Amino acid sequence: MKESERSFGPSRSEVQAHRGASAIAPENTIAAFRAAAEQGAEWVELDVALLGDGTAVVIHDMSVDRCSSSTGNLGDFIAADLETIDAGAWFDPRFRGEPLPTLAAAVSALGELGLNANVEIKQHPHHKSLEQLVKTVDEHLRARAPQTKIMISSFDAAALRRMHEIDPSYELAMLWSQLPDDWSDCLKSIPAGTVHLGYKSLSIGFLEEAAHRGIKVRAWTCNDPKLLASFWPAGLTGVITDDPSVYLS
Ligand code: G3P
Ligand code: MG
């Protein structure tokens, strides 16, 4: 798509690669972040959780079963175990040997690749405390390259509230699959100025109300630009997609 034809689509800075460019490389790996950068994306979304020893890692699920060559729950692993985990071959043999990244490695790669990140904090039952989770995430993010922009998102309002207390400069996004009736009160209580909403739950009415209140709204996870076409004029801010190229090319 030419720049002149993109009047009703997201700007480049509002296309986020979901778990990296996860349509073409194994999700939540450095390879997926590199693929996003190669597609011209400026932002990636990534999921963060803790291993049993408190190491922050980039992974969506509570276990490594779906996205690696190993099996087991995150709570049963420690940092040293990461050397034995292949997070690439499950997706395609071309990615054999791709590591399951620590958050530290991911933050470093973001700097090298010139990417910004939407860091989604995942709450899992094995985590010892919310405090350990948010403090660990914040500590790693503080070590980012000066040019790396960060926003924090979560389905857990308490995690966002605590991140705001730790550093009020974080942009915070509340994640919902469906919009709750008390969405506005919830945002105020954090406080958060952004909603990341499952794209099937978007409505023109909500977007207009959000725009009226100065709230940004990004849609996830939408890989077909046609499905969002009617929402941009109503104020949709951005999109989180497995395949940034469909919005950028
Ligand atoms: O941030 C949007 C999206 O990542 C939320 O859902 O399950 O893919 O982490 P999930
Ligand atoms: Mg996510």
**Residue pLDDT tens, the chain, 249 long:** 444 444 579 999 999 999 999 999 999 999 999 999 999 999 999 999 999 999 999 999 999 999 999 999 999 999 999 999 999 999 999 999 999 999 999 999 999 999 999 999 999 999 999 999 999 999 999 999 999 999 999 999 999 999 999 999 999 999 999 999 999 999 999 999 999 999 999 999 999 999 999 999 999 999 999 999 999 999 999 999 999 999 997
Closest atom of ligand 1 to CA, residue 19: 4
> Rounded to whole angstroms, how far apart are CA atoms 169 and 126?
29
Q: Report d(CA 179, CA 132) in Å as an integer.
A: 29
User: Bridge partners of 117?
Assistant: 44, 150
- The first and second tokens of residue 120, run together, are 């989604």
Q: How many residues can be counted in the chain?
A: 249
Domain coordinates in residue numbering, the chain:
12-64+102-247
SS3 22: coil
* Mutational test site, ligand 1, from 60, 121, 177, 217, max ligand atoms within 8 Å of CB: 60
- Would you state the structure tokens that stand for residue 201, as one six-digit string? 């739950």
Question: Quick count: other Cβ atoms within 10 Å of Cβ 85?
Answer: 19
CA angle centred on 22, ends 20 and 28, rounded to 5°: 50
Q: What is the pLDDT of residue 249?
A: 76
103-113 vs 130-142: helix crossing angle, rounded to 10 = 30
> What pLDDT, on the 0 to 100 scale, is given for residue 6?
42
pLDDT at residue number 13: 98
Distances (CA, A) of 209 to 47, 137, 156, 223, 232: 29, 32, 23, 25, 14
The third-level CATH classification (topology) of the domain covering 12-64+102-247 is TIM Barrel (3.20.20)
Count of CA atoms in the C-beta half-sphere (13 A) of 242: 10
Q: Does the CB atom of residue 119 touch ligand 1 within 6 A?
A: no
| Torsion angles phi and psi, residue 131, rounded to 5 | -60, -45
Overall pTM > 0.85: yes
* Cβ of residue 175 lying under 6 Å from some atom of ligand 1: yes
Q: What is the pLDDT of residue 1?
A: 43
Nearest to 44 by CA among 19, 22, 61: 19
The pLDDT, as a whole number, for residue 8 is 73
How many whole angstroms from 4 Cα to the centroid of ligand 1? 31
